[in-house]
Structure 1
């Protein structure tokens, strides 16, 4: 599986190092959020990687909901627990849950289908900033803290009318931002396309931290830093 180099298994536990997590974020998801840099003070493993590992181990189901409950640091011994009702929990040895997954419907373990869906799904993370979030924040007159940008997944869900989805693509359908004090709750809705036809719906909920009045100058500086990190990470 293409994910093998992004984690390791020891004593029946999964371990993700900071370099492995950062490499996945940049190389597979196209995500250059500074919080995924190995030397970041508040480093956390990207939720997209946990999402990908779950699908690789438990298959792709027609209906799935992923709830991110806690930030995951590097090299935490992880257990992937499956309950009798099919619920999956990603937790540490102390029982702290980082991700909860509910699923229903048909399921496939076909490696090609699962990998193509993972790559399609996580690739949108590389487009969230600046392409999707900047116009959305500007239209609402708010932005995250430019000194400590906090953009984190809260949940993701998918509903597929079919599991056979050759060359899947996500097409952005609707965006929304709700400001609650210093916190912004973003909802991104997509159509899943395959062969030019809609075959499902995908929704992602994202939290923005340190909400404040929109400032074009500050956003321009954050965007410049984003592209600097991207150029550095891709060797461009």
Structure 2
């Protein structure tokens, strides 16, 4: 499958290097969050990659919820285990859980359908900033710390009315931001389309850290740096 170059298997466990994780973030998800840079001080494997590996190993179900419990660093041997009720946990050798998945309904293991869905689903990460989050933060008069932007997934979920989602596309339907002190909780709701027809709903919950008063000049600098990194990462 197309994910094979983004992780390796060692002693029956999944291992993701910083280079593999960073490549997936930039090449597949279009995500240039600095926390996914190989040399980032607080490097974190993108949740989108764990999401994709879960689908590739366990299939695509009509209803799925992914809850991110802990940040994952590089080269941590991971076990993907399934309980009797269908719950999936991604954990390390010490039992620390990084992602928990619940699912129900019909299921498909069709590789083409799963790859198309993954590529469509994770590509929205590359549109979160600045396209969606910048105007959302501006309208609420807050922004993340420009020195250390913290934008992390808390959970993702979807419900599909059909599993054959060929030529899928996500269209943002609604976005909300709730600020509480230095933390912000963002909800992004999407309609999932297949050949232009609605076939499901998707919701993503994102945490913003280090909230402060919105500063247009500081935000412009963050956006400039984002596009600099994007240009560097894509070779444009």
Please give the TM-score of this superposition, normalised by the length of structure 2.
1.00
Matched position secondary structure for 1:19: helix
Q: Report the equivalent of 2:86.
A: 86
- Matches of 1:139 and 1:74 in 2, distance apart? 36
Give the root-mean-square deviation of aligned CA atoms: 0.4
Offset from partner CA, 1:51-94 (integer Å, 9 cap, x none): 00000000000000000000000000000010000000000000
- Matches of 2:217 and 2:90 in 1, distance apart? 40
Note the C-alpha offset of 1:195: 1.5
Q: Report the equivalent of 1:218.
A: 218
Moved over 3 A (4+): none
Note the C-alpha offset of 1:230: 0.4
Q: Report the equivalent of 2:4.
A: 4
Which 5+ residue runs of structure 1 have no aligned equivalent? Answer: none
Matched position secondary structure for 1:173: strand
Q: Report the equivalent of 2:43.
A: 43
Offset from partner CA, 1:114-160 (integer Å, 9 cap, x none): 00000000000000000000010011111000010000000000000
Note the C-alpha offset of 1:196: 1.2
Note the C-alpha offset of 1:166: 1.0
1:26-65 pair list within 5 angstroms: 26-65=26-65
1:76 pairs with 2:76: yes
1:35-184 pair list within 5 angstroms: 35-184=35-184
- Matches of 1:191 and 1:232 in 2, distance apart? 32
Which 5+ residue runs of structure 2 have no aligned equivalent? Answer: none
Matched position secondary structure for 2:137: helix
- Matches of 1:209 and 1:194 in 2, distance apart? 34
1:235 pairs with 2:229: no
Please give the TM-score of this superposition, normalised by the length of structure 1.
1.00
Note the C-alpha offset of 1:95: 0.2
